[in-house]
Amino acid sequence: MSNQRKILKLSRIEVEPNYADRTWQIIEHGINQIFNHNDRELSMEELYRAAYNMVLHRFGEMQYNGLVVTVTRHLEEMRKSIESAEGSFLDELNRKWTDYTESMQKIRDILMYMDRSYVPTHHKTPIKEVGLNLWRDHIIHSAKIQTLLVDSLLEEIHRERMGEVINHGLMRNVIKMLTELGVYQEVLESINAFEDVIINSFKYLAL
């Protein structure tokens, strides 16, 4: 009996020339529908299978880069909406953050195979972290939003000190968001407001 081991060579499965573009368009459409809250009619299973096959056929880089571009486009629309919000700025910011995190969770479910296979193999940033980084860069690092954010936090603290009842749950959500993004101290220190706000923030987080 021969001691030689048989070496199996896996060849790349040939796909039609426009396969990658056509499949990515399907996935991109699904992502757009999720962000636009029109995902009830979507087949998450079909989208997962399409995303899985993109990685299987070695189009992971195209899919990964496409995700970043698509999410960034939606974040730019969110930024404009937040900056021009009528009424409570913190309410609008919190609503958009909640919508965004819920949408990104659905997108992560669709791209789960890419996150588990392509991302670590090619030393890419995981999708969850990509989502946080993009929100930080395009929303929180907007000069206008930063100013509105700190001014709004200080205003709420001032109102409470004057005896008014404020929305502690809203304050807690916003502070938790900044903490999760790793920019809490950075945002508040940007206009020397950190010391005043942090004294109060632990109270909101504990509620």
Q: Can you give the CATH number for the domain in which 105 is found?
A: 1.20.1310.10
Q: Which residues contact 132 (CB under 8 A, 6 or more apart)?
A: 180, 181
Q: Mark which of 140, 159, 178 sits at the end of a domain.
A: 140
Identify the domain containing residue 42 by its residue range: 18-140
Residue 9 lies in a domain: no
Number of H helices, E strands in the chain: 11, 0
pLDDT at residue 200, rounded to an integer: 56
Range with the largest mean pLDDT of 66-80, 153-167, 169-183: 66-80
Residue 82 lies in a domain: yes
Tell me the pTM: 0.85
Instruction: Say what the pLDDT of residue 159 is.
Output: 86
Q: Are 129 and 181 in contact (CB under 8 A)?
A: no
| Contact between residue 145 and residue 87 where contact means Cβ atoms under 8 Å apart | no
> Which residues have C-beta within 8 Å of that of residue 156, sequence separation ≥ 6?
90, 166, 167, 171
Do both 25 and 109 map to the same domain? Answer: yes
Residue 7 has pLDDT above 70, yes or no: no
Eight-class DSSP state of 6: P
Q: What is the pLDDT of residues 105-156, one digit of tens each?
A: 999 999 999 999 999 999 999 999 999 999 999 999 999 999 899 889 888 8
Whether residue 77 is predicted with pLDDT greater than 80 in this model: the reply is: yes
What span, in angstroms and rounded, lies between the C-alpha atoms of 36 and 189?
Answer: 34
d(CA 134, CA 7): 44
d(CA 184, CA 182): 6
Residues 107 and 165 grouped into a single domain: no
Residues 153 and 51 in one domain: no
User: Are residues 115 and 153 both part of a single domain?
Assistant: no
Whether residue 3 lies inside any domain: the answer is: no
Strands (E) across the chain are located at none
38 and 127 fall within a common domain: yes
- Total domains in the chain come to 2
CA distances from 203 to 54, 102, 184 (A): 47, 26, 15
77 with 163, same domain? no
Q: Are 61 and 145 in contact (CB under 8 A)?
A: no
Shared domain check, 150 and 135: no
Give CA–CA dist 126/60, Å, rounded: 13
Same-domain status, 134 and 200:
no
